[in-house]
Structure 1
Amino acid sequence: MPRITSVRVIVTRPGRNFVTVKIETDEGIYGIGDATLNGRELAVASYLTDHVAPVLIGRDAHRIEDIWQYLYKGAYWRRGPVTMSAIAAIDMALWDIKGKVAGLPVYQLLGGASRDGCMVYGHANGSDVSETIERAQEYLEKGYKAVRLQSGVPGLKSTYGVSGERFYYEPAKGSLPEESFWSTSKYMRLVPELFQRGRDALGWDIHLLHDVHHRLTPIEAGRLGKDLEPYRLFWLEDATPAENQEAFRLIRQHTTTPLAVGEIFNSIWDAKQLIEEQLIDYIRATVVHAGGITHLRRIAALADLYQVRTGCHGATDLSPVTMAAALHFGLSVPNFGIQEYMVHTEETDAVFPHAYRFDQGLMHPGDAPGLGVDIDETLAAKYEYSRAYLPVNRLEDGTMFNW
Structure 2
Amino acid sequence: MKITDAQVIVTAPGRNYVTLKLVTDDGVVGYGDATLNGRELAVAAYLTEHVLPLLAGRDASRIGDTWQYLYKGAYWRRGPVTMTAISAVDQALWDIKGKVAGLPVHELLGGKAREALTVYGHASGADVDGLLADVARHLELGYTAVRVQAKIPGMDSTYGTHTGAQIYEPASGALPTEETWNTAAYLDFVPAMMKRVRDEFGYGFHLLHDVHHRLTPIEAARLGGALEPYRLFWLEDATPAEDQEAFRLIRSHTVTPLAVGEVFNTIWDCRQLISERLIDYIRTPVTHAGGISHVRRIMDLADLYGVRSGCHGPGDISPIGMAANLHLDLAIPNFGIQEYMGHRDPAGEVFDWGYRYEGGMLWLSDRPGLGVEVDEEAARRYPYDPKYLPVARLADGGMHDW
TM-score tier by shorter-chain length is over 0.9
Once the two structures are TM-superposed, the CA of residue 165 in structure 1 deviates from its matched residue by: 3.3
Q: 1:140 maps to which residue?
A: 139
Once the two structures are TM-superposed, the CA of residue 14 in structure 1 deviates from its matched residue by: 0.4
Indicate the SS of the match to 2:197: helix
User: Are 1:343 and 2:362 an aligned pair?
Assistant: no
Q: 2:110 maps to which residue?
A: 111
Once the two structures are TM-superposed, the CA of residue 176 in structure 1 deviates from its matched residue by: 0.3
**Alpha-carbon displacement from aligned partner over 1:148-182 (angstroms, at most 9, x marks no partner):** 00000001010000122356210011000000000
Distance 2:348 2:306 in 1: 35
Distance 1:204 1:115 in 2: 25
Distance 1:127 1:226, change over 3 A: same
Q: 2:211 maps to which residue?
A: 212
Distance 1:220 1:22 in 2: 45
Once the two structures are TM-superposed, the CA of residue 364 in structure 1 deviates from its matched residue by: 1.8
Q: 2:36 maps to which residue?
A: 37
CA RMSD of aligned residues (A): 0.8
**One-letter amino acid of the counterpart of residue 369, structure 2:** G
1:13-162 → structure 2 map (5 Å cutoff): 13-162=12-161
Distance 2:339 2:166 in 1: 12
Once the two structures are TM-superposed, the CA of residue 133 in structure 1 deviates from its matched residue by: 1.2
Distance 1:277 1:241 in 2: 18
User: Are 1:181 and 2:180 an aligned pair?
Assistant: yes
Distance 1:39 1:345 in 2: 16
Distance 1:115 1:166 in 2: 33
Once the two structures are TM-superposed, the CA of residue 326 in structure 1 deviates from its matched residue by: 0.8
Distance 2:170 2:348 in 1: 19
User: Are 1:319 and 2:314 an aligned pair?
Assistant: no
Which one is further off, 158-167 or 271-280?
Answer: 158-167
Indicate the SS of the match to 1:19: strand
Once the two structures are TM-superposed, the CA of residue 8 in structure 1 deviates from its matched residue by: 0.4
Distance 1:149 1:219, change over 3 A: same
Indicate the SS of the match to 1:260: strand
Indicate the SS of the match to 1:100: helix
Unaligned runs of 5+ in 1: none
Contact 1:212 1:238 in 2 (8 A): yes
Q: 1:310 maps to which residue?
A: 309
Which one is further off, 2-11 or 346-355?
Answer: 346-355
Q: Percent identity?
A: 63
Q: 2:367 maps to which residue?
A: 368
**One-letter amino acid of the counterpart of residue 109, structure 2:** L
Contact 2:33 2:87 in 1 (8 A): yes
Distance 1:346 1:41 in 2: 19
Once the two structures are TM-superposed, the CA of residue 99 in structure 1 deviates from its matched residue by: 0.3
1:251-270 → structure 2 map (5 Å cutoff): 251-270=250-269
Contact 1:125 1:166 in 2 (8 A): no
Which one is further off, 255-264 or 361-370?
Answer: 361-370
**One-letter amino acid of the counterpart of residue 77, structure 1:** W
Once the two structures are TM-superposed, the CA of residue 346 in structure 1 deviates from its matched residue by: 2.6
Q: 1:274 maps to which residue?
A: 273
TM-score normalised over the length of structure 2: 0.99
Distance 2:248 2:352 in 1: 43
For this pair of structures, how many residues does the alignment match? Answer: 402
Once the two structures are TM-superposed, the CA of residue 385 in structure 1 deviates from its matched residue by: 0.6
